[in-house]
Amino acid sequence: MNPELFQADLEAKPDALSTLARQLRAPDPWPGSGITAESHIVMLGMGSSHYANAVAASRLRRHGVNAVAELASTDLLPPARPETVVVAVSASGGSAETLDAVRRYGDSARVVALTNVSDSPITESAAHVVDMSAGVEAGGVACRSYQHTLALWLDLESRLTGGPGVASVVERAALASGELLAGAASWLPELTELAVGPDGTYLAAPARRLASAQQGALMLREGPRLPAVGCETGDWSHVDVYLTKTTDYRLVLFAGSRWEPELLRWVAERGSTLVAVGGEVDGARQCVRYAGDDDDDVSLLTETLVPELLAAALWRQPPTPLQI
């Protein structure tokens, strides 16, 4: 893992997304997958892959598609049915837990691999392979592959439900990512001061975009090795609110949940430090905006770049003894 190369991976996001958008206007990347609106879709993954899978499964269930996201490490995998399609998601194609889950299904279900490495171990057991097309992530962190996983899931959702396609959404995310990168010098120093405290960083996002908070927290843990936790905005008032009374609580809020008022009330009463991403939020010390942040799908594909750039900046600083 390399912080300079991680920064370069982030800076390549706009071009990578633009390329993916062009590909999504071409023939369906899912044609040999065997997935239909009547399929029982079991999504397997770990870490970033699972975060993306969980959002995708919820979105598909909203349309009546039978989809579930499971940590590949679980001992409670759902049984295969005649209509089951297992989608094993792994950027590297070598996640031990995901490979094990695929082996446990054996020949009882059709397996589709969603991976960024076409000749990886996970493809050997797959009936069909979908290429994330994220390019080589030289920094060693799944940043573009996480984003491309989400984009491909959105594409499948659109195809299964007769939607208009997502190429234009991906293009708008590319533009928004470019805008955030170009303007980082104007907002990143303040974000660093506000969002990182002695007791860590906390991130919250609406349930429909919970992966953004989870991925953002992971980036701070994986790169600069700093304490960070992701939470759902509504659930925050049941699980994280308690820390605002006893810690120097620093919250990065991805805007857009109808449950924000209760969170904002507690944050204001306790004097916690709040930063908002993707909207103007009352009481926020800083609001980081970008073009298209009023579109939920654009936000889903874009907003994690904010904590990723924060992580990259912190990672490049000299480490403290606790980070080594």
Q: What domains, with CATH codes, occur in the chain?
A: 3-170 (3.40.50.10490), 184-323 (3.40.50.10490)
Two structure tokens written together for 49? 């892959």
Query: How much of the chain, in percent, has pLDDT values that exceed 70?
Result: 98
Report the predicted TM-score, pTM, of the whole model to 2 decimal places.
Answer: 0.96
pLDDT band at 320 (very low <50, low <70, confident <90, very high): low
Average pLDDT, the chain: 96
Distance from C-alpha of 196 to C-alpha of 8, rounded to nearest angstrom = 23
Average pLDDT over residues 76-86: 97
pLDDT at residue number 220: 98
Q: Could you please report the per-residue DSSP string of 144-185? A: HHHHHHHHHHHHHHHHHHT---SHHHHHHHHHHHHHHHHTHH
pLDDT confidence of residue 32: 85
Terminus-to-terminus CA distance in the chain, angstroms? 13
What pLDDT is attached to residue 28?
A: 78
